[in-house]
Chain A
Amino acid sequence: MFGEGLLTGMGVTWKHFWGKKETFCYPEEKLPMTERFRGGHLMFDHTKCVACTLCSLACPNQAIKLKIVPDAMKKRHIESYVHLVGRCLYCNLCIEACNFHALSWDKNYAISTWHKEEMDDELVTAEGKEFFNEMMEKAKAEAEAKAKAEADKQKNEGGDA
């Protein structure tokens, strides 16, 4: 009979009309993200970073711009860590490259911005800056102490001679 198939199809939609809803009300309701979810902003732990630049080298699209400053003891520190979100492929290669687990995703997927300029994301926080200054000061003091100790040693050696 012509129309039988049409009616069968309508039967399916009729059944679903009274069935369980497949959708939910975003943004009032939000789904939790999975454990491995790659998205949102990068999170950077300044205490773990050793400034090896492996993350930036692993990036296929040069989305990570680093500013690395050597301290007085010639140890490298991160002064600025910029994640260019507009260039990011979310491929996870930077996170996998890090041997010290200093990087992770914050999983906050709603990251659209009004302006292109807002897309460049500085990951070193105020706390991180403070940590950086502290480390630099510490290294400076250490270097000065070391230089002083060496000078004293030379002086003593000179005195002995």
Chain B
Amino acid sequence: MPQTETYTLSMGPQHPSTHGVLQVRLDLDGETILKATPYMGYLHRGIEKLLESRTYVQGVPYTDRLDYVSSMNNNLGYCRAVEELAQIEVPERAEYIRVIVAELNRIASHLVFIGSLAIDLGASTGMLYAFRDREKVLDLFDLVCGARMTFHYIRVGGVSADLPPEFAAKCDEFLKVLPEFMQEYEDILTGNEIFQYRLKGTSRMTKEQALSHNMTGPNIRAVGIPFDIRKVDGYGVYPKLAFDVPVGENGDNWDRYRVRYLEIYESAKLVRQALDGLPEGDFMAKFPKALRPPKGEVYSRTEGTRGELGFYIVSDGGPKPYRVHIRRPSFINLQGLDDMCRGMLIGDSVAAFSAIDPLMGEVDC
């Protein structure tokens, strides 16, 4: 009588499809995954602690380095928290500019998702197309703030500079070509049978499972819960703008892909409305240079590209925060990896991992 035993496979931390340095221990029965345990901390830089030794204004560039694919959204989350703490009123023009850049960054980030999902499933051409189009967004950001990666554009009280005069035309041009390249992904990836077989019905999650892991962002919308903080909280000028929240039906990897794919269209819709409705006025609020928020604490959340991005800041009345804690959506979404992988094959763990779309800079913080 042959005897079988479970086998432990260590995937990562040096693995091309772990999007950085993450180790996943897979307990296997043959090729079937019994349990997947993520081990994190290989990219820990102590950003929360670093923020405690910098002033509120100096802390903003460090938030760029959390989720480095969507830095604008991190800047926005941190600045909103500080503004709430120090009771700074942001000018309306700045709010509109923030919507434009944050949504453009959401598009760029979802393009990276599509590209990395494609290459993780073996479709390297798909990745090249997505990265080609992400460059168009980065060119816009280069024009606005002079950086392509760590933007540091959204500041406490507004934005660092007004939009350059040529921005509106260039952004318009980008929004015009967006449906064209999205159609290309539809042809090259969505219709591809291999791509569909790898995603449809794999790593299915129920609403209860997703909620029990406190998943947010596209991951929770994929299981059919329309939870979007832009709608729920309605921060900034989002209540004035019209957009839909795409949701999935089955909660499988395919839905995770489709939700993000459709979100790109919704973000483009938001950028278009914000561009058209951009009011005149200041781009920066007036507040003392040596910012000393009153004693107290604040938890402010925004819809990051990967889910609920929350900043908890405690102030002791000094120029530096007493304590900062960041609720990183990638870190919390990754807790669902075990449920997504159980019963799947080793190859599907890569798809599951890629479909969560975690970013290690944010996971380890």
> Which A residues lie at the B interface, using CB under 8 A?
2-6, 8-9, 11-13, 22, 34-39, 58-60, 89-93, 96
Contact = CB atoms under 8 A, between A and B. Distances in A.
A22 B193 contact: no
B191 A4 contact: yes
A37 B142 contact: yes
Max count, chain B CB within 10 A of own CB: residue among A4, A11, A38, A58: A38
A60 to B, nearest CB: 4
B2 interface: no
Interface of B: 54, 57-62, 125, 132, 142-147, 150, 152, 160-161, 164, 184, 187-196
Given A36-B144, A90-B150, A12 B184 contact: yes
Contacts of B58: 58-60, 93
Contacts of B196: 5
24 contacts: A3-B193, A5-B190, A5-B192, A5-B193, A5-B195, A6-B193, A8-B187, A8-B191, A9-B187, A9-B191, A11-B187, A12-B188, A36-B144, A38-B146, A38-B147, A58-B58, A59-B58, A60-B58, A90-B150, A91-B152, A92-B146, A92-B152, A93-B57, A93-B58
B61 A60 contact: yes
Given A2-B193, A38-B147, A60-B58, 8 more contacts: A5-B193, A6-B194, A8-B187, A36-B145, A38-B146, A89-B62, A90-B147, A93-B61
B66 to A, nearest CB: 13
A9 B124 CA distance: 12
A59 B54 CA distance: 10
Nearest to A11: B187
Max count, chain A CB within 10 A of own CB: residue among B58, B146, B191, B195: B146
B61 A36 contact: no
A83 B161 CA distance: 24
A5 B196 CA distance: 10
Max count, chain A CB within 10 A of own CB: residue among B161, B187, B189, B190: B187
* Chain B contact residues: helix, strand, loop or mixed: helix
A91 B61 contact: yes
A2 B197 CA distance: 12
Max count, chain B CB within 10 A of own CB: residue among A36, A37, A38, A39: A36
A34 B61 CA distance: 20
B3 to A, nearest CB: 41
Contacts, number: 73
Given A13-B125, A91-B61, A36 B164 contact: yes
A108 to B, nearest CB: 14
Contacts of A96: 160
Given A5-B193, A9-B188, A60-B62, A34 B143 contact: yes
Contacts of B184: 12
A99 to B, nearest CB: 12
B193 A37 contact: no
Given A38-B146, A93-B58, A6 B125 contact: no
Contacts of B191: 4-5, 8-9
Given A6-B192, A6-B193, A60-B59, A36 B143 contact: yes
Contacts of A34: 142-143, 146
B203 to A, nearest CB: 21
B152 A13 contact: no
B188 A35 contact: no
Contacts of B132: 22
A22 B184 CA distance: 15
Contacts of A89: 61-62, 150, 152
Contacts of A2: 193
Contacts of A4: 191, 193
Contacts of A8: 187-188, 191
A13 B129 CA distance: 10
A148 to B, nearest CB: 43
A38 B62 CA distance: 16
A120 B120 CA distance: 40
Contact of B187 (A12, A60, A92): A12
Contacts of B193: 2-6
B150 A13 contact: no
Contacts of A91: 60-61, 150, 152
B194 A92 contact: no
A24 B66 CA distance: 31
B123 to A, nearest CB: 8
Contacts of A22: 132
Nearest to B195: A5
Contacts of B144: 36
Nearest to A1: B193
